[in-house]
Chain A
């Protein structure tokens, strides 16, 4: 005999159950912190998450014991353990990506695939519960569903005949509403109704996401057109009972479809709430210190190299050309002298007056849809630039580079937003209206800056220009002069270096109130920062590092100025 549900529930060890419950509460706390608050270090979160592995193994072993072994119990145990183990795996990748950038991609994939698996597991349980619930309801109310083999004998027809819909069902005076009741009025829809309803839901959801863009009007309009016949049908069903009995639609199928639809929407809603609803704000702070906004002095060091004196035997059989005595080789070395600290404002050490002791220069890459935002991401390119910036400016820099979605920029409060974000790619850039607004807010209200690099195509150039036309419609891009501050400080750059001129030969800028809010490099500067420098000449990649440092320093200095101005104003 198979053990019943109540049977195995009674065998749950009390102490282990309480301990697991306590662990679950702690785990929920760390998940909330990880997702929204970010107060605990990832290592602590990972350790707590890892505890779920022995706990989970213990429960699986318990479920596998012969006296209570059942597929249902095993499935339930596995399903309950899944989120914990998934989280543990995710935290492992988070820890690993701090060491090796490659794990960023693995982390992203784990998150995506894990979400998909969670959806499938939930769906399986939804189907099972619906089936069981429907049967329970039918038994309780003495009514069989149209898939039940044991149809009532008094009907005089075989179950197959009933299923085939030959017999009319009794007309109910009032419509049934219970979702487990197959006779509920809303299961009387045809497949076409379902398709219409699904289309409407999908289109309205799309409209909600695109709102308030003009594009939202398209799904809204189509949705409205599709909604009309569905609405008419619903009204007819509610008003005229006889209409509810027209034909014999597949009620069981409709119930399953409703379940699927309801579950999918709920899952989607929960996903949106979990991922989009911001928790505590993120914080970006510049390193404290000070410095001057001027060029680093170039110093030419001259070293006399006195040639060696030769003592020559004039009678030697070997001929030797004696160099003139006064020939002295001059060894000229151009070095960069740090005559002052790189930064802005009054303070000790290289940094910014608007910064804090804990602050660091960070290199944050922007994630966007439609293209390859992660081209040359992290170790081997971005990180090289960040490290070089630290070496060249003596400023405190972060240990690793990061990435954020455009929507994440909203989590940074005014005055605590990144001084700049970097973006690159060679494909398309797809932005929703909401993302456009977030970028506008970031650039104009949070005083941020976009440092964009064309990673490989004219198409990306056009995409970026089109994107900026949406973000800053009243600002036209201009070619940034070579003698602009951004090209002179701290390193003078007499020419614009590039790896490949994908978007022309001129750096473009968008200027608002005398400040560059966007610096666009047309020629794959990011490729010059890679470990192999894409094989370009040393003077080119050196200039690319300098240019990168200049743009970063410009963004940080402008941000610091603004912070100080705000402080004075307050």
Chain B
């Protein structure tokens, strides 16, 4: 009974949504449609324009709220009044006065202009604002009311979407799956609702794949794409899955489910079974016709996808067989060899991978891959040798390979060799001479040759980076005054870098043992940039390192 009660409004939403094609015209929920805009009088448009400017362009929500309020006072009976009230409420949301926004704002729209389109939107925003406040039960109530009252509007889909979020927060899997199913199978797609429905359908598919339920997963995924695209989508669909540290982490494809299940010893069998089922389905999708290049490429891709799934399922023999199958059917090419070699490297078989790279039709790329494989193993000297060979083979792009050579020397902490390579680059790649000069100076600095580094940095033109580095060198040379001069120049020359440069002055004096200067500099940071992260850092350093409690900072969030 309870379940039925919860479902019927949702079904109503979907039926009604199907009967409301005109709703798709609105660009955003909180924008006034053009047809209503043109109905406003000139004076009303003028006042609304002022408010809109502060809201959208200047993002000065305090002033915008006042202007919307002015509109309401002057033109209470205007067609734009509910819109102004809605926007006023949104201004309050931006000003973090959420309770007022709900009670005096959105609720007023619903109460005073119940027939207006804004009433629908306001009803949804009530739930949304409650959710933002952490009032999940109130939010849930509000969203359910939206589903009941305005089931024909796209906001019903948004409400469902938010209900999924709430179920996620509360770890209510049953509710989540129920809403997912509605959004996936029973919701008519419009321009507004399409993104939400797609995301939820993918999450539902992932949910089923995580339980090795291939048929259900594929069914959910089918609604996100055309039939012929499904095999490719199966291994490439992306979906947000884990919420951590204020953001969603995205996962990719059914292979994630295979990998997740296979990694855990307890569920490995289930993971491998999932891989078998997915592979079986993919095999069925392989077209028999390979007459055109496109069809051939599609077939190849299926096999590569199968190999990838096998690889995630730790079924190495099957991986090899799959690649052999491709080789047998289409012959060898660099793409196939590259994938084989990558898989070998993932299993630690670097020597075998290099044998495969040597079979490349494109010797330059093969050589480069060999070089890269040595770098991956930490054998930088050999990597340099291989990249040099690549450079010798590829006369047209010497800079590309020399850059790799220089990078390898840097990984190996061979600074002299890296500098020599950058010298070569300066001769070969005249367009980026300044960049290579800067990089060579970085190598001088890393090698501890600070004076030489300063000399080279002076020739560079990438202010303030070169000044930052020079200051670092002077600090290393125990010449704090010189470093401070440079930091001051940075603070004066680059507004964006000023807080950083000023706190560096404090650190420089601190490291030099000049307590008073350091305290003054750090207090200046607190005073001048009280809301900046460096203001916070300076405050903490003053307290921690100097036991100074009077930091002279302080501010408000306004």
Q: Write the residues of chain A forming the contact surface with B, with a CB cutoff of 8 angstroms.
A: 426, 456-458, 462, 465, 473-479, 481-484, 494-502, 505-506, 509-511, 513-514, 523-524, 527-528, 530, 532, 534-537, 540-541, 543
Partner of B134, one of A496, A505, A509, A537: A509
With A511-B134, A534-B550 as contacts: A543 and B556 at CB distance below 8 Å: yes
In chain B, positions 236-275 with a C-beta closer than 8 Å to chain A are 243, 245
Q: Write the residues of chain B forming the contact surface with A, with a CB cutoff of 8 angstroms.
A: 95-100, 132-135, 137-138, 169-171, 243, 245, 523, 526, 530-533, 535-536, 538-540, 543-544, 549-558
With A475-B134, A499-B539, A509-B134 as contacts: A540 and B554 at CB distance below 8 Å: yes
Complex Cα distance, B245 from A130, in Å, reads 57
User: Nearest chain A CB to B39's CB is how many angstroms away?
Assistant: 34
Complex Cα distance, B556 from A81, in Å, reads 58
Q: Which residues of B contact A500 (CB under 8 A)?
A: 526, 530, 535-536, 538-540, 551, 553-554
Q: Is the CB of A514 within 8 A of B137?
A: yes
Q: Is the CB of A497 within 8 A of B96?
A: no
Q: Which residues of B contact A481 (CB under 8 A)?
A: 96-99, 133
Q: Is the CB of A501 within 8 A of B544?
A: no
Q: Is the CB of B540 within 8 A of A534?
A: no
Q: Is the CB of B553 within 8 A of A534?
A: yes
Q: Is the CB of B553 within 8 A of A456?
A: no
The 7 closest A-B pairs by CB, nearest first: A536-B554, A500-B539, A535-B550, A511-B134, A481-B98, A478-B134, A456-B540
Q: Which residues of A contact B170 (CB under 8 A)?
A: 474
Q: Which residues of A contact B526 (CB under 8 A)?
A: 500
Which of B138, B531, B553: most chain A CB closer than 10 A? B553
User: 20 additional contacts, CB 8 Å, given A476-B169, A500-B539?
Assistant: A426-B540, A426-B544, A474-B169, A474-B170, A476-B243, A477-B134, A478-B132, A482-B95, A496-B557, A498-B556, A498-B557, A501-B533, A501-B535, A501-B555, A505-B557, A506-B96, A513-B137, A535-B551, A536-B552, A540-B556
With A481-B96, A514-B137 as contacts: A532 and B549 at CB distance below 8 Å: yes
Complex Cα distance, B533 from A527, in Å, reads 17
User: Nearest chain B CB to A65's CB is how many angstroms away?
Assistant: 52
Complex Cα distance, B131 from A479, in Å, reads 11
Q: Which residues of B contact A465 (CB under 8 A)?
A: 245
User: Nearest chain A CB to B540's CB is how many angstroms away?
Assistant: 4
With A501-B535, A502-B540 as contacts: A479 and B96 at CB distance below 8 Å: yes
Q: Is the CB of B97 within 8 A of A505?
A: no
- Please give me the residue from chain A that is nearest to B552 by CB atom: A535
Q: Is the CB of B554 within 8 A of A528?
A: yes
Complex Cα distance, B133 from A452, in Å, reads 19
Q: Is the CB of A495 within 8 A of B556?
A: yes
Interface contact tally, CB-CB below 8 A: 126
- Please give me the residue from chain A that is nearest to B136 by CB atom: A511
What are 24 pairs between A and B in contact, CB < 8 Å? A456-B540, A465-B245, A476-B243, A478-B132, A481-B97, A482-B96, A483-B96, A494-B558, A497-B554, A497-B555, A498-B554, A498-B557, A499-B539, A499-B551, A500-B535, A500-B554, A501-B530, A510-B134, A511-B135, A514-B137, A535-B551, A535-B554, A540-B555, A540-B556
Q: Which residues of B contact A514 (CB under 8 A)?
A: 135, 137-138
Q: Which residues of B contact A498 (CB under 8 A)?
A: 554-557
Q: Is the CB of B540 within 8 A of A527?
A: no
Q: Is the CB of B137 within 8 A of A456?
A: no
Q: Is the CB of B554 within 8 A of A483?
A: no
Complex Cα distance, B550 from A527, in Å, reads 9
Q: Which residues of B contact A456 (CB under 8 A)?
A: 536, 539-540, 543-544
- Please give me the residue from chain A that is nearest to B92 by CB atom: A483
Q: Which residues of A contact B555 (CB under 8 A)?
A: 497-498, 501, 540
- Please give me the residue from chain B that is nearest to A501 by CB atom: B536
- Please give me the residue from chain B that is nearest to A485 by CB atom: B99
Complex Cα distance, B138 from A514, in Å, reads 9
User: Nearest chain A CB to B352's CB is how many angstroms away?
Assistant: 34
Q: Is the CB of B554 within 8 A of A511?
A: no
Q: Is the CB of A484 within 8 A of B99?
A: yes
- Please give me the residue from chain A that is nearest to B95 by CB atom: A482
User: Nearest chain B CB to A7's CB is how many angstroms away?
Assistant: 59
Complex Cα distance, B556 from A149, in Å, reads 80
Q: Is the CB of A532 within 8 A of B550?
A: yes
Q: Which residues of B contact A541 (CB under 8 A)?
A: 554
Q: Which residues of B contact A528 (CB under 8 A)?
A: 554
Which of B531, B535, B536: most chain A CB closer than 10 A? B536
Q: Is the CB of A483 within 8 A of B98?
A: yes
Which of B138, B526, B532, B549: most chain A CB closer than 10 A? B549
With A483-B97, A500-B530 as contacts: A534 and B536 at CB distance below 8 Å: no
Complex Cα distance, B526 from A496, in Å, reads 18
Complex Cα distance, B136 from A478, in Å, reads 11
User: Nearest chain B CB to A97's CB is how many angstroms away?
Assistant: 21
Q: Which residues of A contact B532 (CB under 8 A)?
A: 501
With A478-B134, A509-B134, A532-B549 as contacts: A537 and B99 at CB distance below 8 Å: no
- Please give me the residue from chain A that is nearest to B543 by CB atom: A456
- Please give me the residue from chain B that is nearest to A499 by CB atom: B554
User: Nearest chain B CB to A388's CB is how many angstroms away?
Assistant: 17
- Please give me the residue from chain A that is nearest to B527 by CB atom: A535
Which of A456, A458, A514, A534: most chain B CB closer than 10 A? A534
User: Nearest chain B CB to A491's CB is how many angstroms away?
Assistant: 15
User: Nearest chain B CB to A520's CB is how many angstroms away?
Assistant: 12
Complex Cα distance, B558 from A482, in Å, reads 11
Q: Which residues of A contact B550 (CB under 8 A)?
A: 532, 534-535
Q: Is the CB of A506 within 8 A of B557?
A: yes
User: Nearest chain B CB to A214's CB is how many angstroms away?
Assistant: 14
Q: Which residues of B contact A483 (CB under 8 A)?
A: 96-100
Q: Which residues of A contact B138 (CB under 8 A)?
A: 514
Complex Cα distance, B557 from A427, in Å, reads 24
- Please give me the residue from chain B that is nearest to A372 by CB atom: B544
Complex Cα distance, B99 from A154, in Å, reads 98
With A501-B531, A505-B531, A511-B134 as contacts: A457 and B554 at CB distance below 8 Å: no
Q: Which residues of A contact B533 (CB under 8 A)?
A: 458, 501
Partner of B171, one of A474, A497, A499, A511: A474
Q: Is the CB of B134 within 8 A of A534?
A: no
Q: Which residues of B contact A509 (CB under 8 A)?
A: 134
Q: Is the CB of B556 within 8 A of A478?
A: no
Complex Cα distance, B530 from A497, in Å, reads 11
- Please give me the residue from chain A that is nearest to B96 by CB atom: A482
User: Nearest chain B CB to A476's CB is how many angstroms away?
Assistant: 6
Q: Which residues of B contact A505 (CB under 8 A)?
A: 531, 557
Complex Cα distance, B135 from A475, in Å, reads 10
Q: Is the CB of B171 within 8 A of A476?
A: no
Complex Cα distance, B539 from A527, in Å, reads 10
Q: Which residues of B contact A458 (CB under 8 A)?
A: 533, 536
Partner of A496, one of B549, B552, B556: B556
- Please give me the residue from chain A that is nearest to B526 by CB atom: A500
Which of B100, B554, B557: most chain A CB closer than 10 A? B554
- Please give me the residue from chain B that is nearest to A454 by CB atom: B536
Q: Which residues of B contact A462 (CB under 8 A)?
A: 245
Q: Which residues of B contact A511 (CB under 8 A)?
A: 133-135
Q: Which residues of B contact A523 (CB under 8 A)?
A: 536
- Please give me the residue from chain A that is nearest to B169 by CB atom: A476
Q: Which residues of B contact A473 (CB under 8 A)?
A: 171
Complex Cα distance, B100 from A457, in Å, reads 33
Q: Is the CB of A535 within 8 A of B137?
A: no
- Please give me the residue from chain B that is nearest to A530 by CB atom: B549
- Please give me the residue from chain B that is nearest to A459 by CB atom: B540
Q: Is the CB of A457 within 8 A of B540?
A: yes
Complex Cα distance, B170 from A530, in Å, reads 40
Complex Cα distance, B171 from A478, in Å, reads 17
User: Nearest chain B CB to A395's CB is how many angstroms away?
Assistant: 26
Q: Which residues of A contact B97 (CB under 8 A)?
A: 481-483
With A426-B544, A500-B536, A505-B557 as contacts: A534 and B551 at CB distance below 8 Å: yes
